[in-house]
Structure 1
Amino acid sequence: MTYIVDITNLVAFKKLFASKSDDWVDKMNHKYTVIILLILATVITTAQAVGDPIFCWVPAEFTNSYEAYTKWYCWIKNTYFVPISDTIPLDVDIRSNEEITYYQWVPMILLFMAFLFKLPNLMWFMLNTHTGFNLRRMTGLADKAMLAKKEERKETINNMAIFMEMWLKSQHYYEHNFVTRTKAKVSNVLCFVCNKRQGKFLTALYFNMKSLYVINVIGQFYLLNGFLGMDYNSLGYSVLEGLTESENWRESPRFPRVTLCDFKIRQMQNILRFTVQCVLPINLFNEKVFIFLWFWYFFIAVLSCYNLFKWFLILVLKKNNYLFIKKYLKLASKVKTEPEKKLCRKFADRYLRDDGCFVLRILATNSSELIVLDLVEELWSNYKERQEYSTTVSQQVQDSYPNVPYIDE
């Protein structure tokens, strides 16, 4: 039983990184950035645990045990940086204000940042099934259909269409009152408001997730400002400016390799104060890590902002749904006449709505355009058949009861 539970947990953990319900920009945030941060945290932890993260130049009278004590005391207590050309301040408070407090905690902060990058995806993973639609399962069926034989492929596409039709039908209003009308108006105006019955739950939730990615990557610049005790926002610009200044590149005030450490030793009733000079080899690596992260975060921030703006336009401009569906129906030669174009608009705006079109977009991103083409064609054929049947029935009703008005839903 223990092995079964362990395997189940492993499969569930694998699903978190093998996400097929978002686009490649999301994966750059919650997958590749997280992997990079985990690798860096592991390497730095190994360097701190296996090697000597600090060396201190101690007085000649110090024995080996004193030297070891000094090294680990200065590693735990924090050191402070004073340029070699400057005089060491006599005021202890000034020295304390210059202490470097981050180098012991770099692996922990990297793990915390990795969690923040993964958090929006975890929220999407847990909340997107609240509409009753398993998007991950649907992308799995799309992959299966893509590799299946002709008959099996046709059957899989048909099952996908049936499942989508049942889900789309369940999302429509079952009652109309003041509350539902108000929620509908609010969700139509604000694209980040989730409304299941209006067909905007998945799209709004996805937009909110993308907003969290943007907030997270920008917020981490300010998080590192506080953690590193420096102006991390300008680190990348300083690096670019200092590429030709080798002296500035070797001696970084942000990540100093040569620091000072104060400590006291009690000998009977006497307290002796020592100031020693220490070398932080780990800071040489920390500097390169955080410089790399600055440029990587900048790249991710640009991608995420662009991607968020693109999806904002998709959600705000209602014509995009119609154009998206029309593209596939034209490829299948299903929309030729003007009445078919009008029916296509109704199919996209009133039947599929935002969530239905969103599901098809995700399938196209994570599976194959050909699968989406077949699925749209199947959904369109079923919808058109129902519309033609409804038109025939309404005509018969009008012919039998000419004085009774017929209301088309």
Structure 2
Amino acid sequence: MLDIFRGLKNLIKVSHIHIDSSIFRLHYSITVMILLAFSLIVTTRQYVGNPIDCIHTKDIPEDVLNTFCWIHSTYTIPSAFLKIVGEEVPYPGVDNSRTTSPSDRKYTKYYQWVCFCLFFQAILFYAPRWLWKSWEGGKIHALMMDLDVGICSEVEKKQKKKLLLDYLWDNLKNHNWWAYRYYLCELLALLNVVGQMFLMNKFFDGAFLTFGFDVIAFLDRDQEDRIDPMIFIFPRMTKCTFHKFGTSGEVERHDAVCILPLNVVNEKIYVFLWFWFLILGGLTALVVMYRCVVIVSPRMRVYLLRLRFRLIRGDVLDILVRKSKLGDWFLISMLGENVDSLIFRDVMHDLAAKLSAANSGVGLGGSLRGDPGQSGHLMHHHGSTIGRDPLDV
């Protein structure tokens, strides 16, 4: 099993360039790796053995009966789950078909499709990441210019900082659509998790949405009273009916009891996925709500920048938020996660100085990286006093 996960380790390699949030990365790295690993496990006989083994007679070859029951599905009798094993029925869900109504049969067909369904789910989880990567277009990587490593010559550092500053200045207020595309991808990730819960609920005939709660309730019941809810969805013993011509030319009916070792693995997989999707969906919903607050509240943007970038002065962050739009705030946040903190501080101070100078209509002789008192005096002198701005928090 470790070999399977070792082959998928490239999926969880986190790039040193961050273009999304950590919760968003859980969707396309950890979750995709888990789903692909599960898809491979259920197809490997090394861990499961034969997916189906049916008790056969000498009249029917073993391979023929197993293949027929695998292809045409098997069934259980729901009323037989409540009967006493060893007295009324031989196994939970297995009973005499002649004494029960044909409508009292639950056919188990999903097990043929589990590996394909898990693989399809992995593709759906990666889709928002693929979409955002194509829309992002390598912008963050291009703007970084290896400035994530602060050790370089002063000449090179100064030149790269100027290029980054010029880009931010020339393209100010032009990043809204770029940011909204990312927010759309996060929303798609949330819709994907919720949609997949309902997809699996349909896959298991409406029994999946409450599956985790049923398992928890089962663990809390007394040993004598409890019935394992997992055998309702993932029966280990089922029945299969095979018809053939006898020696006299008449149709003969053969009822076989089949063991499904694959369901022992399936039940563990889907118990884990139920809890994982619930946690992932909850975290993603919180992120989407956080994005909504950021969109409508400039004050929150200032607070978040102050919380994350403590090397940058508060008045500088006020100017950046007040003189820019949501898309610029998002780009600045992404750059702050990737660029060296000291270099990022210098660029933000210089950008705030240019914004203040442009607003006052004259050029500033120095940068906000200089003496805070002098910078504040200059901005006050030109009618741009920050302390009177309503966004100053």
Shorter-chain TM-score tier: 0.7 to 0.9
Q: Which residue of 2 aligns with 1:236?
A: 212
Sequence identity percentage: 23
Is the CA contact 1:16–1:122 (under 8 Å) kept in the aligned structure 2? Answer: no
**CA distance change for structure 1 residues 123 and 374 in 2, over 3 Å: closer, same or farther?**
same
Q: Which residue of 1 aligns with 2:199?
A: 223
In the TM superposition, what whole-angstrom CA distance separates every residue of 1:47-85 from its partner, at most 9, and x where no partner exists? Answer: 3898311111113x336xx11100111111111112363
**CA distance change for structure 1 residues 260 and 50 in 2, over 3 Å: closer, same or farther?**
closer
Q: Which residue of 2 aligns with 1:359?
A: 331
User: Which of the numbers 169, 172, 183 marks the counterpart of 1:168?
Assistant: 172
Aligned mates of 2:338, 2:310 — CA distance in 1 = 22
Q: Which residue of 1 aligns with 2:234?
A: 255
Q: Which residue of 2 aligns with 1:125?
A: 133
Q: Which residue of 1 aligns with 2:289?
A: 309
Is the CA contact 1:33–1:114 (under 8 Å) kept in the aligned structure 2? Answer: yes
* Amino acid in the other structure paired with 2:295: L
Structure 2: give runs of 5+ residues left out of the alignment.
Answer: 1-9, 84-88, 90-94, 365-393
Is the CA contact 2:11–2:30 (under 8 Å) kept in the aligned structure 1? Answer: no
**CA distance change for structure 1 residues 303 and 15 in 2, over 3 Å: closer, same or farther?**
closer
* Amino acid in the other structure paired with 1:321: R
**CA distance change for structure 1 residues 386 and 48 in 2, over 3 Å: closer, same or farther?**
same
Is the CA contact 1:328–1:373 (under 8 Å) kept in the aligned structure 2? Answer: no
* Amino acid in the other structure paired with 2:50: D
In the TM superposition, what whole-angstrom CA distance separates every residue of 1:242-284 from its partner, at most 9, and x where no partner exists? Answer: 1245663486211110001112123474222211000000100
Q: Which residue of 1 aligns with 2:384?
A: none
Q: Which residue of 1 aligns with 2:243?
A: 264
Q: Which residue of 1 aligns with 2:20?
A: 22
Is the CA contact 1:55–1:279 (under 8 Å) kept in the aligned structure 2? Answer: yes
In the TM superposition, what whole-angstrom CA distance separates every residue of 1:160-215 from its partner, at most 9, and x where no partner exists? Answer: 2222223327x3xxxxxxxxxxxxxxxxxxxxxxxxxxx52123222221211111
Is the CA contact 2:12–2:30 (under 8 Å) kept in the aligned structure 1? Answer: no
User: Which of the numbers 94, 97, 101 marks the counterpart of 2:103?
Assistant: 94
Q: Which residue of 1 aligns with 2:139?
A: 134
**CA distance change for structure 1 residues 333 and 221 in 2, over 3 Å: closer, same or farther?**
closer
Is the CA contact 1:230–1:254 (under 8 Å) kept in the aligned structure 2? Answer: no
Aligned mates of 1:43, 1:370 — CA distance in 2 = 48
- What pairs with 1:176-325 in structure 2 (closer than 5 Å)? 199-245=175-221, 248-249=227-228, 252-267=231-246, 269-324=249-304
* Amino acid in the other structure paired with 2:237: V
Secondary structure at the aligned position of 2:256 is classed as: strand
User: Which of the numbers 52, 55, 77 marks the counterpart of 2:72?
Assistant: 77
Secondary structure at the aligned position of 2:113 is classed as: helix
1:376 aligns with 2:348: yes
Is the CA contact 1:325–1:376 (under 8 Å) kept in the aligned structure 2? Answer: no
**CA distance change for structure 1 residues 153 and 334 in 2, over 3 Å: closer, same or farther?**
farther
How big is the shift at 1:241? 1.0
**Superposition TM-score, scaled by structure 2 size:** 0.75
**CA distance change for structure 1 residues 154 and 38 in 2, over 3 Å: closer, same or farther?**
farther
Aligned mates of 2:42, 2:359 — CA distance in 1 = 64
Is the CA contact 1:20–1:139 (under 8 Å) kept in the aligned structure 2? Answer: no
* Amino acid in the other structure paired with 1:137: A
Secondary structure at the aligned position of 1:277 is classed as: strand
Aligned mates of 1:280, 1:140 — CA distance in 2 = 57
How big is the shift at 1:324? 4.7
Give RMSD over aligned pairs: 3.3
Q: Per residue, is there more helix in 1 or in 2?
A: 1
**CA distance change for structure 1 residues 140 and 285 in 2, over 3 Å: closer, same or farther?**
farther
Is the CA contact 1:328–1:376 (under 8 Å) kept in the aligned structure 2? Answer: no
User: Which of the numbers 109, 112, 115 marks the counterpart of 1:104?
Assistant: 112
**CA distance change for structure 1 residues 105 and 373 in 2, over 3 Å: closer, same or farther?**
same
Aligned mates of 2:46, 2:284 — CA distance in 1 = 34
Of 152-161 and 115-124, more deviation after overlay is shown by 152-161
User: Which of the numbers 22, 47, 51 marks the counterpart of 1:53?
Assistant: 51
Is the CA contact 1:23–1:365 (under 8 Å) kept in the aligned structure 2? Answer: no
**CA distance change for structure 1 residues 328 and 366 in 2, over 3 Å: closer, same or farther?**
closer
In the TM superposition, what whole-angstrom CA distance separates every residue of 1:7-56 from its partner, at most 9, and x where no partner exists? Answer: xxxxxx98997472101000011221111111111111223898311111
Structure 1: give runs of 5+ residues left out of the alignment.
Answer: 1-12, 172-198, 336-340, 393-409
Is the CA contact 2:176–2:328 (under 8 Å) kept in the aligned structure 1? Answer: no
Aligned mates of 2:217, 2:48 — CA distance in 1 = 35
How big is the shift at 1:98? 0.9
